Structure 1
């Protein structure tokens, strides 16, 4: 909709589909906070409050009240449906998680040490698709493991002095 410079928006009309008493009951009985606020806004609009008044009473913007009114007029649900999205299933089903945990407890078949790359290869074979080493790292950490790596050594360290220190300290 393209409006001229000084033209106002068309007035939004509430297409009442519920009795105001029913709207009040929906507002009071709602468990979801977003849904409750939306029903409250619609109920206030039915009791004669203007959109700016409802926005001020509820502490929301005028745009939010207008969007809520559009939602009600179109018959869309008032609940926040984002919370009902279960998301994607995990990469590893529970039985494969346990198999991976058991495999990490044993020495790696090839070289005895589980590296991130070894873990990624193991997961790739079981899943039948490539697995990024970073994903293998996250699953190792999630299962309580960390990859083994040697302690850092200083480049200019004197191996003879270190060996002598080990002999004297024990």
Structure 2
């Protein structure tokens, strides 16, 4: 019985790398930190540093460095620039036009009872967005827009109004 020999992967190298000075200039001029790391990796590789050392210098994994090399080999310098900002993130929970409408609504008295409570704000947002909005989320949007929810001071249900007036008169 004959055993199969272990075959090593071919060494991964940059194909037709530009002059290291050009890569260094791209690395130094770029303001985007992610793109800067890519150019830095290419510059180090072009100057003869091995992949593990580049990964250690930059604080990335060897896999990340290999991905950068593969992308460069497939698309050249243009491929490195096209990688910028692919992940735009989630859209905001409150679109800008709804934010502005909410700000305008908060500046006027609430239509039902004149006070913007957290529950009133959550109902208003639920109607505009077409989905349920948690009162805590409404509160955070009110705070983000610079408003505080208003509610009357709590009053005791069994208070004596006459005794309160009498107290005010006697204490002044």
TM range (shorter): 0.5 to 0.7
Normalized against structure 2, the TM-score is what?
A: 0.64
Indicate how the Cα distance of structure 1 residues 19 and 144 shifts in structure 2: closer, same or farther if over 3 A, else same. Answer: closer
Q: Which residue of 2 aligns with 1:3?
A: none
- What's the CA shift string for 1:65-93, capped at 9, x where partnerless? 33332332343436763487274156243
Is the 8 Å Cα contact of residues 116 and 151 (structure 2) preserved in structure 1?
A: no
Q: Which residue of 2 aligns with 1:33?
A: 33
SS in 2 for 1:81: coil
Q: 1: CA distance between counterparts of 2:32 and 2:95?
A: 32
Indicate how the Cα distance of structure 1 residues 97 and 78 shifts in structure 2: closer, same or farther if over 3 A, else same. Answer: closer
Indicate how the Cα distance of structure 1 residues 59 and 85 shifts in structure 2: closer, same or farther if over 3 A, else same. Answer: closer
Q: Which residue of 1 aligns with 2:3?
A: none
Listed as ranges, the gaps of 5+ residues in structure 2 are 1-5
Indicate how the Cα distance of structure 1 residues 140 and 16 shifts in structure 2: closer, same or farther if over 3 A, else same. Answer: same
Q: CA deviation at 1:103?
A: 2.9
1:130 equivalent in alignment to 2:131: yes
1:109 equivalent in alignment to 2:85: no
Q: Which residue of 2 aligns with 1:147?
A: 149
SS in 2 for 1:73: helix
Q: 2: CA distance between counterparts of 1:80 and 1:166?
A: 71
Q: 2: CA distance between counterparts of 1:24 and 1:106?
A: 57
Which residues in structure 2 correspond to 1:7-156 (within 5 Å)? 10-21=9-20, 22-75=22-75, 76-77=79-80, 81-82=84-85, 85=88, 87-89=90-92, 91-94=94-97, 96-125=98-127, 127=128, 129-132=130-133, 133-151=135-153
* RMSD of Structure 2 on Structure 1 (CA): 3.7
Q: Which residue of 2 aligns with 1:4?
A: none
Normalized against structure 1, the TM-score is what?
A: 0.64
SS in 2 for 1:77: helix
Q: 2: CA distance between counterparts of 1:72 and 1:140?
A: 47
- What's the CA shift string for 1:14-67, capped at 9, x where partnerless? 241432244333333323232222222222222322223333444544344333
